[in-house]
Amino acid sequence: MPRNLAPEPIEHQRLRLLFKQGQGASIVAAVGAVGCTAIFRHAGATGAALIWLALVGVATTLRLLLYYRFFRTHIGHHPEHYWLFHHAWTAGLVGLAWGAVAAIPVPSNVSHIHELQTLIPGFILMATISSYGVYFSQYLVLWSTTGAATIIARLYASGMDGAAEVALFALFLPVLLLTAKRYGQSISASIAARHRSEQLVDEITVANNKLQHHNAVLARQRDVMEHEEALAKHVFQQLTVGGDHSLEGVHSWNQPMGSLSGDLVQTVRGPSGQSYVFLGDFTGHGLPAALGALPASSVFLAMAAKGLPVSKIAAELNRKLRQLLPVGYFCCAVLVELSPDRRRIDVWNGGLPPILIRRKGKSDYERVESHSLPLGVAEGPEFDAASRQCTLNPGDRLYIYTDGLTEAENIEGEFWGTERLESFLTRDDLPPLKLPALIEAVLEFVNLAPASDDITVVEIEATPSSTDEYDAQQEAPGELLRAGLAAGS
């Protein structure tokens, strides 16, 4: 993963700025020294002016050589104090050279030149604040050598006649020093702020690069997970498919929380025409919950195909899941066996909400409460595999559902609830088959809220057509017998 170079240290930035500005100032000062020499020669001090120019030239040349070495050498090749030391002693030479301008002998009849000899060092000290002030200690070297050399040279050349000029110059020196100190503090703060800004940019860039890398890794992992989940879903559907999913009068709806449902609905027709329904709600959601459905499906389909009673199916399911599932995983379930004429049912309820039986023409419900522990929790006497028997009449309906239905939550945090469910199923303005309207109502209630659980509902009809068909099957042998006897007589 690419990374940006770390920002240059603050001290390296200050050092680079000192030498960069000092190089330009030295060149400008050399040009200024040539101009001053021309002025002094015009005033009649040719020899001394040329000597002074040579001194300034030597000091400036030494500084330019130092600058050349600095910019041709890696800044970290020598420690910081090495460069500062060499810069300081060349600054001292420059200060002495410029202070010596006050010692150039000038005829007394050109008084303005005498004043200029004191002003020139002051101008130099003022102009170099921006270049030397980056390091106050460097400016202090130039300030002290220039100031001392100017005062001594002026008193040496003019005696007490130059005392007034020296006094004014001395009063001006502290102002320059204070200005340079404040300038240095401002520059240091500015460099520190810039360095911090560069650090923040670097940190943000590195963090962004890491985030992009992690996003790419997550995207690849998500693709792998989606592929594996699709494969698991396909395998799950193939393993749990079976039975008769188009049993007359049996309607179901399953709304998984994710791509895999932890609720399992299985229906199968028995060998004697009876109908079996299994609804299981396994612990958890998604793949862990769906894995428990695989053995439950195979056991239920195999035993129902043999026409075994609900109590034996419940006992075997409990034994199998108790054996396979880890501690803390179980299955709340309902098992239903309907007689061929849909007039009798055997029901086992272990941990699911009450089964609702609504009699035709009545507004209340009969309930078959949970009377056993869920599948896979306990063995032996603690597990009650006995079923409950009920009778049905044509037009009666059974409703079996998981708690995901009553706990369906909207964006305000309100649950669909048992009261709302039971009230909805008693509405006479709806068709006899309530499941399609129930699905629409629940989805409208939940709306944009994220799913919190799998939802499964099964509606079973004791349909008149099923009853009439069964009665016709039972009466058919008698009719054939009577027809045969009549023909024989």
- Give yes or no: residues 168 and 309 share one domain: no
With 0-12 / 13-18 / 19 or more C-beta atoms within 10 angstroms meaning exposed / middle / buried, residue 345 is buried
150 and 283 in a single domain? The answer is no
Q: Which of 156-160, 195-199, 237-241, 302-306 has the lowest mean pLDDT?
A: 237-241
* Chain centre distance of CA 48: 76
C-alpha to C-alpha distance for 379 and 62, rounded to whole angstroms? 99
> Which residues have C-beta within 8 Å of that of residue 41, sequence separation ≥ 6?
49, 50
What is the three-class DSSP state of 310?
helix
Q: Where is the domain boundary, 191, 206, 221? A: 206
**From start to end of 351-446, where are the E strands?**
355-358, 366-368, 388-391, 397-401
Q: Per the domain annotation, does 222 fall within a domain?
A: no
Note whether residue 85 is domain-resident.
yes
Helices 10-42 and 111-127: crossing angle, nearest 10°? Answer: 170
Distance (Å, whole) CA 38 – CA 50:
9
Residue 227: inside a domain:
no
> Rounded to whole angstroms, how far apart are CA atoms 234 and 186?
70
User: 435 lies in a domain?
Assistant: yes
Say if residue 287 is in the same domain as residue 158: no
Regarding whether 140 and 27 lie in a shared domain, the answer is yes
The CA distance from 22 to 154, in Å, is 27
Q: Is the pLDDT of residue 386 over 70?
A: yes
Handedness of CA 186, 12, 93, 56 (dihedral sign): negative
Residue 465 has pLDDT above 50, yes or no: no
Q: Is residue 187 part of a domain?
A: yes
Q: Is residue 235 part of a domain?
A: no
Whole-angstrom distance, CA of residue 91 vs CA of residue 301: 100
Quote the pLDDT of residue 457. Answer: 95
478 or 122, higher pLDDT: 122
Which of the four pLDDT bands, split at 50, 70 and 90, describes residue 428?
A: confident
Question: Same domain for 171 and 49?
Answer: yes
Q: What's the pTM? A: 0.56
- Whether residue 56 is found in the same domain as residue 198: yes
122-131, 216-225, 469-478: the lowest-pLDDT one? 469-478
User: Cα–chain-centroid distance for residue 279?
Assistant: 39
DSSP 27-63: HHHHHHHHHHHHHHHHTT-HHHHHHHHHHHHHHHHHH
Q: Which residue has the higher pLDDT, 246 or 59?
A: 59
Is the Cβ–Cβ distance between 357 and 390 less than 8 Å?
yes
Can you give the residue range of the structural domain that contains 41?
Answer: 10-206
Compute φ and ψ for 369, nearest 5 degrees.
-70, 165
> Which residues, 6 or more positions from 78, have their beta carbon under 8 angstroms from its beta carbon?
none
Residue 374 placed within a domain: yes
**251 and 435 Cβ atoms separated by less than 8 Å:** yes
Q: Give the rounded distance of the alpha carbon of 421 from its chain centre.
A: 39
pLDDT tens digits, one per residue of 215-225: 999 999 888 87
CA distance 255 to 265: 11
Report whether pLDDT(129) > 50: yes
How much is the mean pLDDT over the chain? 85
| Per-residue pLDDT at 473 | 43
Residue 362 included in any domain: yes
Estimate the share of the chain in helix, then strand, then coil, as percent rounded to the nearest 5. 60, 15, 25
The whole-number average pLDDT for the span 136-161 is: 88
Co-location of 176 and 284 in the same domain: no
Q: Indicate if 466 and 318 belong to the same structural domain.
A: yes
What's the structural domain count of the chain? 2
Q: Which distant-in-sequence residues (6+ apart) come within 8 Å of 27 by Cβ?
A: 64
263, 393: one domain: yes
CATH number of the domain where residue 301 is located: 3.60.40.10
Residues 257 and 368 placed together within one structural domain of the fold:
yes
The structure tokens listed for 124 are: 């130099």
Whole-angstrom distance, CA of residue 179 vs CA of residue 185: 10
Cα–Cα distance for residue pair 454/258, rounded to 1 Å: 8
**Domain end (from 206, 224, 259):** 206
At residue 240, the pLDDT reads: 55
Provide mean pLDDT across the span 74-84.
87
125/260 same-domain check: no
For residue 242, what pLDDT is reported? 53
Range of lowest pLDDT (29-38, 124-133, 364-373, 476-485): 476-485
Residues 315 and 410 in one domain: yes
Q: Tell me what pLDDT residue 438 has.
A: 93
Please report the pLDDT score of residue 429 as a whole number: 87
Are 135 and 184 a contacting pair, CB within 8 Å?
yes
Domain stop point among 156, 182, 206: 206
pLDDT, position 355: 95
pLDDT band at residue 317 using 50, 70 and 90 as cut-offs: very high
Q: Is the pLDDT of residue 373 over 90?
A: yes
